[in-house]
Amino acid sequence: MRRKKQVGQAAFTTLNVVFLVLIAATMIIPLWNAVAESFSGSFASMRPGILMWPRDFSLSGYTTIWTVLDLWQPFENSVIVSVLGTLLHVLLSALAGYALAQSGMPGRRFVTGLILITMMIPFEAIMIPFYITMQQLGLLNSLAALILSGMVSGFSVLLMRNFFLSIPGDILESAKIDGAGHFRMFWQICMPLSKAGLATVGLFEFVGRWNNLLTTILLINDSTKNTLQVALNALISGGSSTSSGYLITTNVKMAGIIIAILPLIIAYPFAQKYFVRGIFLGANKE
Amino acid sequence: MKSHKRPYFALLSTSVVAGTLFTNSAFAAQPHKIVQEPTLTIATGVIGGKNPQENAAFADEIGQALHCKVQLISTTGNYDQKLMAMLAAGQKIDVVYTEGSTLAQLAKAGEVTNLQSQIHHSAVLGNSRVVPQWEWNDIKLSSPNGQGIYAVPVKYQGALMPIVRGDWMKELHLSEPKTLNDFYHMFQMFKNKKGAYGLTLSSLYDIQPFMSAVGLKNGYELQKGKFTIPYATPAAVPVYAWLHNLYAKGLLDPNFVTNKTSDERNLFLSGRVGMFVYWDAWVPMLNNLAATQGASASFDAEALPGAVGPGGKRLVSKGDTSVFAIPSNAPNKALAFKFLEWWNTRPGEILGSLGVKGLDYTVKHGKYQLTQLGIDDNMDHGDPEPISSYWKNPFPSMQKGYANARAIGVHYGYQPLINSDWNNAQQIIWQYGDDAILGRLSPKAAVADMHAALLKQHYISQ
Amino acid sequence: MMSADYPRSQMAIPVRHPLVHHVNKWVRAVPLYVMLLPTIAYFVIFTYYPLLHSIFISMQNFNLIGNRPYVGLHNYRHVLTDPTFWSSFENTLFLGISILLIGFVAPIIMALSLNEVLSSWLKRTVQMVIYLPHLFSWVVVGGLWIQLLAPDGGLVNAVLQVMGIAPVQFMSDPNLARWVIILVSVWKDVGFNTVIYLAAMVGINPALYESARVDGANRWHEMGYITIPSLARTMQVVGLLSIMGVLRLFDQIYVMRNAVIEPQVNVLMTYVYDMGFQEMNIGRATASALLILIFTLILTLFTQRLIRVDHS
């Protein structure tokens, strides 16, 4: 009996790993293809089909992109907007999520409803008025506008609320008995216990901000304040039906794509650490 | 360039961050108010440099010429959204870049200024050697009821024509194709001898050179006050049938439905296909690219006219014109018009093509020399081909094949008649046309369905 | 549903008191409202105020410059009687609901499957890799899949050819293309939602598993009786979030559509986009975007009756 069970378990484990590896393989294709094309020679990269290895290995994709687009300034701007914006976003979402997780709070349903509705509004529905509001506040053409827009989102508030709700009641209860107020409970107990949640929301927001295109294009006029995505967009989307005579070879385009996502790939493991090491590691110490 | 060495982390120090965050336009504009010079605001999608430094130098050069400050709002991608938001928010812009189809909407709503009399009295724009009359006629197609001129062309737009591997034609002893059969024969030779597809398309963009064989024009045609679409009439059936035959015989790139024009260029440059239909201005650019980036040494792109139609006529279609217009609420209309004039003088043309002196090119003993940045920018800063007949490109060696291509456009080109429904109508034509080429519908049925769908949506009246 | 098991609810001691306590309740909530203040202020200034403005725009013949005459509900009437709007609506339901259902189940399976992997190296690597497609913009991902599925030079058709199957025109056959779009959409975001579930799994008390093992439970029992019920609340949130996004499907369609498949894949948001930015009819585009909001509200209220997210 026992042996049979073990064989079954082994088979399950193997199948499971095969399943995951297969799925992961399809997901690595885009990155791999982009890397291979970015290191190809400019002509070789234009031949049709999916590349799995650089053709006529060359660094010209990367050198061209750095000489044509002076990328340091946009890179700095992207870092400022994404880092500050994400920190602010995570803090505000956590604060709101904490408040909405308190079952005794009066008016909670109304506020939750108010926040839920914001998530259903298509940005196109309010794009022009949103722009006008930014103008009225004198924020157009500033990095502050980029940090402020999306300073909090219903998505993150709901997720944070959900993470706070899963904190075991007895931990909170004992803190309450110690006479802790809401701010102390939030900062000293709930926040440290919700690292997985904070990392999740932070990662999502960072990726979203780093890749943001439309808001930046709308709000920024001065090209010294453009972000990396906007600077690269010219290459990646490359006007296709105009008669503009600016040909971007595929290796240059792919180099741009790699440069744009590299910081995200580097940042990922830092966030991932917290998904694996979760709240009970902290809680068990008590 | 100095900033390259500075680690970006330094910038995160709080004081600098605070400084960067709050230098928005409202604050930044303050000190400049003291200066008496007016500010010319230009909103554009494609004019200017490729990086902030180059953009600033580009704006400065315009400012020096016109004795004013210049704010260049250069948006790459999503330009229409940005322009609409700016205008809707009541921002004052002096010059906007737009295209013929959008211009029609703006002019109809009275949102741009009628420039006809100013142009008439202008020493530059009124000179038909600078801007030929037919350019004005094309722009008038976008005017309400064809009255008035609401914009000035940005560049010579050119036409869409078959671009073919001239070296292959020579090698295979092929002469200029005149009939659809000649084209078919040529494609067959390309397939058999070169292992390439004869032709690639991007959906039905653009099949005018082949529709030319039956004398049908792209866009609408106005017959006795009623709109028809020639591509959706029975006369077009043989051309769809011919295209389907190309597909069935493996002479047409089977990816044509999903191709973007950039795919077509890549296929052509990498020798996977012998012909595609594209802009005349691209002929020399393809040749330059092939020469500098190491394609086969013999690579030679050449333009061809469309197939010979009834009465010996051949057709290629001109592009949607890129234009500058002056919004009706522009604060500096006179200055804006001065800019439009200047853009069509020699210094403006040099700026729009070669770029900024010192950055993109240098002049030694009266001879122009491109810098590395200038070479990368490919002599395109919004105006790669100025309209004026006085214009001479300082680099004639980089114009291989262009004279012939431009002549084809001038000789056989016409401006298609389109209106605000055209985008939707075109979708229907492409949908049924593609189905016919793929063989899902017989050419006859495809045209009948196409016509019926267009009638049902009231895009045509008969 | 599952919320009875959920630990927090033990704390919610129902207190019923007279009026004094009712006032006290609000006084005690002041710190909570201070915490909510930035969020509420943001939404009022940057969402609700613009939304109000949009409602005005949707009732105007909105010219970019110059006068903007009031036209009442004319824009709405026009949109609601436009057959293209309704065919886009049908497409949105088909594509949206398919993506919703498959996209709901897939990350749960992925997360459960990952949870069973013991090697932490493999677990971390796979976890990172499945997140990769989410980092790319739709322009890149859409273009890549069009290339992968191309009849000439596409990897998928090359494999089919080896198996002796003639090239398939995936993207120019409306029925196939619809499913390609559905599956690619799920594929792109599965890693994103898997991360949410994994983060939630980390929060499950290990003591529950230990006691189950003592009782002789095998892996399937653990999964069925501990892991999945513990994820119920997260599933509700993820499900609700997806439902609210269902009618806003746009990017993947925009980058993967072509003339042949457009009538079968154009959705409500492409309608808004084409109306606003191609035809420059801002009043009508805004009206149709607000209709999408109304439809989403109805849809969400309807489903909220089924899965009550906001009860404790």
Q: Are A103 and C12 a contacting pair at CB < 8 A? A: yes
Q: Check residue A130 and give its pLDDT.
A: 95
d(CA C237, CA A162): 8
Interface of A with B in 247-276 (CB under 8 A): 247, 249-250
Whether B361 contacts B57, CB under 8 Å = no
Give the type of residue at B176.
E
Return the structure tokens found at A146.
């980029």
Of B76-85, B200-209, B210-219, B253-262, the poorest mean pLDDT is in B76-85
* Residue B77: inside a domain: yes
Residues in B touching C265 (Cβ below 8 Å) = none
**Closest of B381, C25, B394, C196 to residue A204, by C-alpha:** C196
Whether B259 contacts B251, CB under 8 Å = no
SS3 of B163, please?
strand
pLDDT at A1 over 80: no
Q: Give the distance from residue B29's alpha carbon to the nearest chain A alpha carbon, in angstroms.
A: 11
d(CA B401, CA A160): 63
Residues in A touching B372 (Cβ below 8 Å) = 67
Residues in A touching C12 (Cβ below 8 Å) = 103-104
Which of A48, A67, A73 is closest, CB to CB, to B373?
A67
B429 and B345 share one domain = no
- Residue B370 phi/psi, 5-degree rounding, is -80, 140
d(CA A131, CA B256): 39
Q: Check residue C307 and give its pLDDT.
A: 62
pLDDT at C141 over 60: yes
Level-2 CATH architecture, domain C80-306: Orthogonal Bundle (1.10)
Q: Give the distance from residue B456's alpha carbon to the nearest chain A alpha carbon, in angstroms.
A: 29
* Residue B4: inside a domain: no
Using alpha carbons only, give the angle A42, A45, A50 rounded to the nearest 5 degrees.
170
pLDDT at C279 over 90: no
Residues in C touching B424 (Cβ below 8 Å) = 274
For chain C, what's the residue count?
312
Residues in C touching B431 (Cβ below 8 Å) = 259-260, 262-263
B307 and B268 share one domain = yes
Question: Which of A14, A50, A227 is the mutation pick for testing C, counting most C CBs within 10 A?
Answer: A50
pLDDT confidence band for B19 (50 / 70 / 90):
very low
Quick check: A116 contacting B, CB < 8 Å? no
Which of B81, B261, B378 is closest, CB to CB, to A240?
B261
d(CA B202, CA B257): 6
Which of C29, C53, C272 is closest, CB to CB, to A122?
C272
pLDDT confidence band for A3 (50 / 70 / 90):
low
Q: Which chains pack against B, by 3+ Cβ pairs within 8 A?
A: A, C
Residues in C touching A5 (Cβ below 8 Å) = 218
d(CA A260, CA B207): 37
Q: Check residue B212 and give its pLDDT.
A: 96
Span B316-320, mean pLDDT?
88
Residues in B touching C152 (Cβ below 8 Å) = 197, 253-255
Percentage of chain A surpassing pLDDT 70? 88
pLDDT tens for A191-247 read 888 888 898 899 889 989 998 888 898 898 888 888 888 888 766 655 433 445 556
* Residue B451: inside a domain: yes
Q: Check residue A183 and give its pLDDT.
A: 87
Q: Give the distance from residue B424's alpha carbon to the nearest chain A alpha carbon, in angstroms.
A: 17
pLDDT tens for C58-98 read 999 888 887 888 998 999 999 999 999 999 999 999 999 99
Q: Are B84 and C276 a contacting pair at CB < 8 A? A: yes
Question: Parallel, antiparallel, or unpaired: how do β-strands B273-279 and B197-199 relate?
Answer: parallel
d(CA B138, CA B133): 9
Domain end: B389, B415, B440, which one? B389
B180 and B130 share one domain = no
d(CA C8, CA B31): 58
Of A103-112, B4-13, B312-321, C189-198, the poorest mean pLDDT is in B4-13
d(CA B22, CA B11): 14
d(CA B73, CA B97): 10
Interface of C with A in 106-135 (CB under 8 A): 110, 113-114, 116-118, 120, 122-135
Specify the CATH number for the domain of residue B310.
Answer: 3.40.190.10
Q: Which of A160-169, B399-408, C64-73 has the highest mean pLDDT?
A: B399-408
Q: Give the distance from residue A14's alpha carbon to the nearest chain C alpha carbon, in angstroms.
A: 9
Which residue of B lies nearest to A250 if distances are taken between CA atoms?
B266
Q: Check residue A277 and give its pLDDT.
A: 53
- Give the residues across from B71 on adjacent strands: B41
B137 and B45 share one domain = yes
d(CA C204, CA A278): 9
Per the model's pLDDT, the better-predicted residue between C86 and A284 turns out to be C86
pLDDT tens for C144-156 read 889 889 998 888 8
Which of A64, A145, A243 is closest, CB to CB, to B319?
A243
User: Domain containing B434: what range?
Assistant: 159-318+407-456
Element (H, E) at B99: strand B95-99
d(CA B437, CA B200): 12
pLDDT tens for B157-190 read 889 999 999 999 999 999 999 999 999 999 999 9
* Residue B219: inside a domain: yes
Q: Are B430 and C259 a contacting pair at CB < 8 A? A: yes
pLDDT tens for A110-147 read 999 999 999 999 998 999 999 999 999 999 999 999 99
Average pLDDT, chain B: 87
Q: Are C198 and A275 a contacting pair at CB < 8 A? A: yes
Which residue of C lies nearest to B200 if distances are taken between CA atoms?
C152
Q: Are C196 and A119 a contacting pair at CB < 8 A? A: no
Of A225-234, A245-254, C209-218, the poorest mean pLDDT is in A245-254
Neighbouring CB atoms inside 10 A of C18's CB total 7
Rg (CA), chain C: 25
Whether B361 contacts B369, CB under 8 Å = yes
Average pLDDT, chain A: 83
pLDDT at C3 over 80: no
Interface of A with C in 71-130 (CB under 8 A): 92-93, 95-96, 98-107, 109, 111-112, 114-122, 124-126, 128-130
Q: Domain ranges in chain A?
A: 2-62, 74-237
Q: Which CATH class is domain A74-237?
A: mainly alpha
Residue B365 gets the label, from left (phi > 0), alpha (psi -120 to 50) or beta, of left
pLDDT confidence band for C46 (50 / 70 / 90):
very high
B169 and B305 share one domain = yes
Whether B43 contacts B112, CB under 8 Å = no
Q: Is the Cα torsion angle B413, B417, B423, B425 positive or negative in sign?
A: negative
- Give the residues across from B277 on adjacent strands: B162
B223 and B288 share one domain = yes
Interface of C with A in 36-65 (CB under 8 A): 36, 38-40, 42-43, 45-54, 57
Per the model's pLDDT, the better-predicted residue between B316 and B298 turns out to be B316
Span B315-339, mean pLDDT?
92
Residue-wise burial string across C216-228, b where 16 or more C-beta atoms lie within 10 A, e elsewhere: ebeeeebeeebbe
Span C171-188, mean pLDDT?
94
d(CA A155, CA C245): 11
d(CA B152, CA B287): 30
Percentage of chain C surpassing pLDDT 90? 41
Structural domain count, chain B:
2
* Residue B19: inside a domain: no
Which of B87, B431, B434 is closest, CB to CB, to C263?
B431
Neighbouring CB atoms inside 10 A of A223's CB total 26
What are the CA-CA distances from residue B141 to residues A55, B99, B105, B138 (Å)?
Answer: 48, 12, 12, 5
pLDDT confidence band for C204 (50 / 70 / 90):
confident
Q: Are C151 and B255 a contacting pair at CB < 8 A? A: yes
B118 and B237 share one domain = no
Q: Check residue B4 and give its pLDDT.
A: 41
**Closest of B204, B173, B231, B269 to residue B437, by C-alpha:** B204
Q: Check residue C308 and give its pLDDT.
A: 61
pTM: 0.86
Span A154-163, mean pLDDT?
89
pLDDT tens for C247-259 read 989 989 988 999 9
Strands (E), chain A: none
Q: Check residue A4 and give its pLDDT.
A: 66
Quick check: A207 contacting B, CB < 8 Å? no
pLDDT at A61 over 70: yes
Residues in C touching A133 (Cβ below 8 Å) = 45-46, 49-50, 53
**Closest of B78, B357, B174 to residue C251, by C-alpha:** B78
Per the model's pLDDT, the better-predicted residue between C80 and A248 turns out to be C80
Residues in A touching C286 (Cβ below 8 Å) = 125, 128
d(CA B289, CA B379): 12
* Residue B383: inside a domain: yes
Return the structure tokens found at C305.
């009756």
pLDDT at B299 over 60: yes
B217 and B326 share one domain = no
d(CA A69, CA B373): 10
> C154 Cβ partners below 8 Å, 6+ apart?
A49, A50, C147, C148
Span B195-210, mean pLDDT?
94
Quick check: C289 contacting A, CB < 8 Å? yes
Helix%, strand%, coil% for chain A, nearest 5 = 75, 0, 25
Which of B51, B260, B378 is closest, CB to CB, to A70?
B51
Q: Which chains pack against C, by 3+ Cβ pairs within 8 A?
A: A, B
Which residue of B lies nearest to A215 if distances are taken between CA atoms?
B82
pLDDT tens for C107-139 read 999 988 888 887 778 888 888 888 888 888 888
Q: Check residue A71 and give its pLDDT.
A: 81
Whether A112 contacts A96, CB under 8 Å = no
pLDDT tens for A34-56 read 888 889 887 777 776 667 788 88
Percentage of chain A surpassing pLDDT 90? 27
Residues in C touching B438 (Cβ below 8 Å) = 169, 172, 260
DSSP calls for B75-94: --SSHHHHHHHHHHTT---S
Whether B215 contacts B309, CB under 8 Å = yes
Per the model's pLDDT, the better-predicted residue between A84 and C66 turns out to be A84
* Residue B380: inside a domain: yes
Q: Give the distance from residue C225's alpha carbon to the nearest chain B alpha carbon, in angstroms.
A: 48
d(CA B372, CA A60): 13
